């Protein structure tokens, strides 16, 4: 059966299956494929798709029991490759997809497939002076995981080598006749690169988007380039990969334009039980092929028995973004509580408490307003940082670009910005109190006291922080604490570890205390605001009601 027939079979199987049998993101991707067939501005070139699939199936596996044997693509892989090479623009016959984001759990063959795509783009794409880059974060990864398999094929597949005159070196493959090259890139490439194809492997491991961005800006001179991300989920919810993942999910839901991006995400649905074997099979499309079923079931068994292993299992084998390995907050529950429709402007005149954390004049400051409607709470954070801090912390620029951090000139935070924001909220809402830690707050307190604002000292002691911290967590788990999806706050929430004392009190600590870029100021401010609701007796302790026990 030719490649497109298998592609069609996969789309049909997904769309006719019982609800829940496939990941929702896969159903959406297949529905997008079908819907796009009705458009006039694009068309699906069956011949091109079949050629790409057929070409890749001529190339061999490079390791394990299949080494040297031709690749046989599974149906989902035909959908992947066929989509990349088959969809074209009607007006110029060039390929539609310039970007691809594929998120699949470990050992499902994703690296093998992108190496084969890279070889096709090097030799058989008709691109003169092709520049193909295999990108990762370490030299060993580039050499052993990406380049070594490509060189194996170039050296051991005689038909391929002779047909294109490929010459292999220690770190590159070259085709002299077309001046084309395939090579590796560690972290950020040179600005002079002009990729016709760039692979960004395990994007969740990248601390910043430098490699992706440089590849992207270098593609401008190419008529139909491909920038291809492959990754599993990760634990850093403030990473550029998580931001890319979020955008891809919006595209699949139809909330964001993304005509030039192909998306394939295997993950559990919201109502799936992570400990169910059926969920494991749903998320691992190559289960029983490239990844051993017994191995996965053993990993599941270990994850059920060990909380420490659970998060690793869920990120690597179920493809879930679950936050730091030692996170305090259940980040899946936190993400479920995100409501993009929430607007600060809709809470005019309503009661709120404000938490204010001014941990450092030289770095991030946080102001969080928490409103209450009935038994539910609604959080709105505001962050401030000096320009110098944004230059030193590579996490900040993405939040600045989103409008989630306000920068002030110089090396120190200009507290007048924070003062102005508090006064603005005071006029807008019924601010019942502003809770502040006396450290660093003398200037602001002095300035705000004449305004009639109720300023409450809230020291960062275990006694003050424990109960509101437990209550905030319990409210999230109960679905009663809501937020608008501020990415800077979500990143900080995933950075919090709970320190437990002998009396079962808890206190927010950084999950990585040795990393100066790890920030939790916004979470601390939220806990302070929750503490004020509890102190005034206007918030029953969900922690007490449930007998909830942290950790």
What is residue 466's three-state secondary structure? helix
Distance CA 407, CA 19 (A): 47
Q: Where are the domains of the chain?
A: 3-265, 277-323, 335-546
Q: Which two tokens stand for residue 484?
A: 């608008």
Least-confidence region, from 50-54, 76-80, 159-163: 159-163
Q: How far is CA 322 from CA 27, 78, 79, 352, in A?
A: 22, 30, 28, 30
Query: Residue range 261-287: average pLDDT?
Result: 95
Residue 259 pLDDT more than 70?
yes
Query: Residue range 409-426: average pLDDT?
Result: 90
Residue 207 banded pLDDT, cuts 50, 70, 90: confident
What pLDDT was estimated at residue 480? 97
What pLDDT was estimated at residue 1? 82
Distance CA 275, CA 310 (A): 10
Residue 101 pLDDT more than 90?
yes
What pLDDT was estimated at residue 548? 34
Distance CA 398, CA 333 (A): 24
Residue 329 banded pLDDT, cuts 50, 70, 90: confident
Buried/exposed code over 431-470 (b: 16+ C-beta within 10 A; e: otherwise): bbbbbbbeebbeebeebbeeeebebbebebeeebbbbbbb
Distance CA 56, CA 428 (A): 61
Most confident of 187-201, 261-275, 325-339: 261-275
CB 352 within 8 A of CB 369: yes
Residue 118 pLDDT more than 90?
yes
Residue 550 pLDDT more than 60?
no
The full 3-state SS of 41-72, as one line of letters, equals: CEEECHHHHHHHHHHHCCCEECCHHHECCECC
CB 507 within 8 A of CB 465: yes
What pLDDT was estimated at residue 249? 94
Which of 288, 287, 411 is CA-nearest to residue 360? Answer: 411
pTM for this one? Answer: 0.71
Query: Residue range 255-281: average pLDDT?
Result: 94
Distance CA 51, CA 416 (A): 63
Distance CA 405, CA 365 (A): 9
Residue 534 pLDDT more than 90?
yes
Taking all residues of the chain, what is their mean pLDDT, rounded to a whole number?
91
Look at the block and give the residue holding tokens 């789309």: 11
What pLDDT was estimated at residue 348? 96
Q: How far is CA 119 from CA 183, 186, 223, 458, in A?
A: 11, 19, 18, 61
Least-confidence region, from 107-121, 246-260, 301-315, 535-549: 535-549
CATH superfamily for domain 3-265: P-loop containing nucleotide triphosphate hydrolases (3.40.50.300)
Least-confidence region, from 57-66, 123-132, 302-311, 513-522: 302-311
Report helix angle 521-535 to 462-477, nearest 10: 90
CB 472 within 8 A of CB 526: yes
pLDDT tens by residue, 122-142: 999 999 999 999 999 999 999
Residue 544 banded pLDDT, cuts 50, 70, 90: very low
Most confident of 30-44, 232-246, 305-319, 399-413: 30-44
Least-confidence region, from 130-144, 194-208, 255-269, 355-369: 355-369
Which of 78, 74, 88, 99 is CA-nearest to residue 36? Answer: 88
End-to-end CA gap in the chain:
53
Q: How many other CB atoms are there within 10 angstroms of residue 304's CB atom?
A: 13
Q: Which two tokens stand for residue 308?
A: 């420490």
Distance CA 74, CA 51 (A): 16
What is residue 357's three-state secondary structure? strand
What pLDDT was estimated at residue 501? 66
Secondary structure (DSSP) of 400-429: HHTT-EEEESSSS--HHHHHHHHHHHHHHS
* pLDDT: which is higher, 328 or 276: 276
Distance CA 6, CA 74 (A): 8
Buried/exposed code over 400-417 (b: 16+ C-beta within 10 A; e: otherwise): beeebbbbbeeeebbbeb
What pLDDT was estimated at residue 431? 96
Residue 542 banded pLDDT, cuts 50, 70, 90: very low
Residue 312 banded pLDDT, cuts 50, 70, 90: confident
- Taking the alpha carbons of 472, 476, 482, 484 in that order, is the dihedral positive or negative? positive
Element at 360 (helix H, strand E): none
Residue 540 pLDDT more than 70?
no
Residue 235 pLDDT more than 60?
yes
Residue 310 banded pLDDT, cuts 50, 70, 90: confident
Distance CA 29, CA 104 (A): 14
Note the CATH number of domain 335-546. 3.30.420.240
Q: Which two tokens stand for residue 274?
A: 């992570």
Residue 307 banded pLDDT, cuts 50, 70, 90: low
Which of 346, 299, 303 is CA-nearest to residue 322? Answer: 303
What pLDDT was estimated at residue 90? 97
pLDDT tens by residue, 443-457: 888 889 888 899 999
Residue 489 banded pLDDT, cuts 50, 70, 90: very high
Share of the chain above pLDDT 70, in %: 95
Distance CA 280, CA 546 (A): 31
Most confident of 63-72, 184-193, 466-475: 466-475
Task: Enumerate residues 6+ apart whose C-beta is below 8 A from 24.
Answer: 269
Query: Residue range 310-324: average pLDDT?
Result: 85
Task: Enumerate residues 6+ apart whose C-beta is below 8 A from 14.
Answer: 22, 26, 27, 30
């Amino acid at each position: 059966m030719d490649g497109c027939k298998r592609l069609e079979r996969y789309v049909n199987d997904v769309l006719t299956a019982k609800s829940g049998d496939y990941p929702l993101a896969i159903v959406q991707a297949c529905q997008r494929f079908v819907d796009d067939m009705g458009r006039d501005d694009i068309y699906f070139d069956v011949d091109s798709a079949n050629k790409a699939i057929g070409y890749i199936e001529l190339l061999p596996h490079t390791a394990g029991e299949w080494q040297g044997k031709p690749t046989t693509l599974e149906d989902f892989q035909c959908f992947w490759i066929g989509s990349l090479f088959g969809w074209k623009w009607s007006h110029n016959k060039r390929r539609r997809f310039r970007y691809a984001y594929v998120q699949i759990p470990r050992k499902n063959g994703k690296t093998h497939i992108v190496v084969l795509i890279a070889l096709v783009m090097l030799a058989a794409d008709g691109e003169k002076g092709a520049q193909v880059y295999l990108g990762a974060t370490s030299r060993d990864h580039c050499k052993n995981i990406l380049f070594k398999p490509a060189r194996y094929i170039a050296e051991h597949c005689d038909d391929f080598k002779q047909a294109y005159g490929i010459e292999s070196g220690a770190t590159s493959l070259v085709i002299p006749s077309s001046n084309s090259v395939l090579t590796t890139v560690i972290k950020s490439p040179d600005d002079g690169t002009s990729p016709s194809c760039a692979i960004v492997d395990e994007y969740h491991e990248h601390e910043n988007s430098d490699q992706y961005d440089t590849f992207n800006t270098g593609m401008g001179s190419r008529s139909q380039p491909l920038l291809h991300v492959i990754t599993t989920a990760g634990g850093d919810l403030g990473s550029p990969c998580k931001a890319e993942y979020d955008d891809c999910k919006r595209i699949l839901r139809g909330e964001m334009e993304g005509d030039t991006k192909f998306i394939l995400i295997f993950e559990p649905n919201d109502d799936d039980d992570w400990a169910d074997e059926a969920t494991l099979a749903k998320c691992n499309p190559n289960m029983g092929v490239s990844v051993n079923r017994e191995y996965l079931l053993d990993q599941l068994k270990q994850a059920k028995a060990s909380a420490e292993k659970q998060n690793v299992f869920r990120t690597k084998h179920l493809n879930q973004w679950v936050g730091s390995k030692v996170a305090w907050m259940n980040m899946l529950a936190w993400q479920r509580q995100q409501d993009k429709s929430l607007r600060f402007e809709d809470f005019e005149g309503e009661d709120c408490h404000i938490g204010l954390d001014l941990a450092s004049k030289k770095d991030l400051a946080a102001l969080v307003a928490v409103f209450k409607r009935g038994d539910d709470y609604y959080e709105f954070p505001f962050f401030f940082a000096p320009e110098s801090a944004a230059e030193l912390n590579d996490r900040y620029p993405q939040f600045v670009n989103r409008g989630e951090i306000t920068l002030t000139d110089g090396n120190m935070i200009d507290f007048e910005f924070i003062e102005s924001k508090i006064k603005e909220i005071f006029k807008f809402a019924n601010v019942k109190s502003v809770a502040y830690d006396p450290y660093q707050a003398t200037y602001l307190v002095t300035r705000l006291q004449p305004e009639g604002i109720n300023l409450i000292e809230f020291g960062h002691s275990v006694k003050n922080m424990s109960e509101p911290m437990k209550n905030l967590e319990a409210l999230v788990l109960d679905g009663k604490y809501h937020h608008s999806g501020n990415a800077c706050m979500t990143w900080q929430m995933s950075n919090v570890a709970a320190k437990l004392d002998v009396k079962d009190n808890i206190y927010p600590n950084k999950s990585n205390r040795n990393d100066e870029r790890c920030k939790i100021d916004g979470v601390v401010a939220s806990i302070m605001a929750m503490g004020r609701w509890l102190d005034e007796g206007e918030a029953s302790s969900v922690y007490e009601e449930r007998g909830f026990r942290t950790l």
